[in-house]
A = this chain, B = another copy of it.
Amino acid sequence: MSYQSVDKRVIRTKRMIRDALTELIQEKGFEGITVRDLTTKANINRGTFYLHYRDKYDLLEQSEAELIQGIQSFAKQLDPITGVTYHLRNEPLPFVVKLFEYLEEHADFIKVILGPKGDPAFQAKLKEVMRENMLEKLVKQLKTEKMLVPVDYFTSFFISAYLGVIQKWLENGMKQSPREMSVILSKMVFLGILDVVGIKDNLSM
């Protein structure tokens, strides 16, 4: 009925370790965490930890990999025609809306892992997934020689901008809905800075 571990005890133990990890990263950052800290907070025996994870880095990797996998699995279900169509219509990409929904759902962990005490490698992974699902198809359809800037700086610019807004949104306590955030982002992506700030009659000088 299952090639997976469905043993209630395993589920329970792993969940408690994951919860402890989230709390502890918040408290002291990942670096400062010891296996003893984790097992104490999780109320399990220290030996039990090693039954499931090689060390704390293994725990972190597995936790991150699950999140990335979660994103990729819903990304694949999305309309493959996306890409340029949405870009041209100045509409938020369905992927972006879904992404915010997903982030919201797993906010506890993601918030700390993307925060100042988190893991910069996870930022890189997330950027890569975003790039694949938001810009890859667009870039492939462009004659890059016509671009005003080198393509990899173009990509880095917008993906980092997205991630920065995501981090701010999480930090702010996710006051806006995923749809609202997608719209905000679209505006900034499609308009230049002067339009976004409503300049011309806006300046006080």
Number of interface residues of A (CB under 8 A): 60
User: Does A40 have its Cβ within 8 Å of any Cβ on chain B?
Assistant: no
Measured between alpha carbons, how far is A150 from B121 in the docked complex, in Å?
29
Check if A198 sits within 8 Å of B146, measured CB to CB.
Answer: yes
CB-nearest residue of chain B to A121: B116
| Copies of the protein in its oligomer | 2
Q: Which of B31, B123, B165, B185 interacts with A31 by CB under 8 Å?
A: B31
Measured between alpha carbons, how far is A167 from B115 in the docked complex, in Å?
18
Instruction: Pick the most buried of A118, A159, A192: most chain B CB atoms within 10 A of its CB.
Output: A192
Give every chain B residue within 8 A of A138 (Cβ-Cβ).
197
Q: Which of A120-162 contact B (CB under 8 A)?
A: 120-121, 123-124, 127, 138, 141-143, 146-150, 152-154, 156-161
Give every chain B residue within 8 A of A196 (Cβ-Cβ).
147-149, 154
CB-nearest residue of chain B to A146: B198
Check if B120 sits within 8 Å of A188, measured CB to CB.
Answer: no
User: Does A191 have its Cβ within 8 Å of any Cβ on chain B?
Assistant: yes
Q: Which of B120, B193, B203 interacts with A116 by CB under 8 Å?
A: B120
Write the residues of chain A forming the contact surface with B, with a CB cutoff of 8 angstroms: 30-31, 84, 87-88, 115-121, 123-124, 127, 138, 141-143, 146-150, 152-154, 156-161, 163-165, 167-169, 172, 184-185, 187-199, 201-205
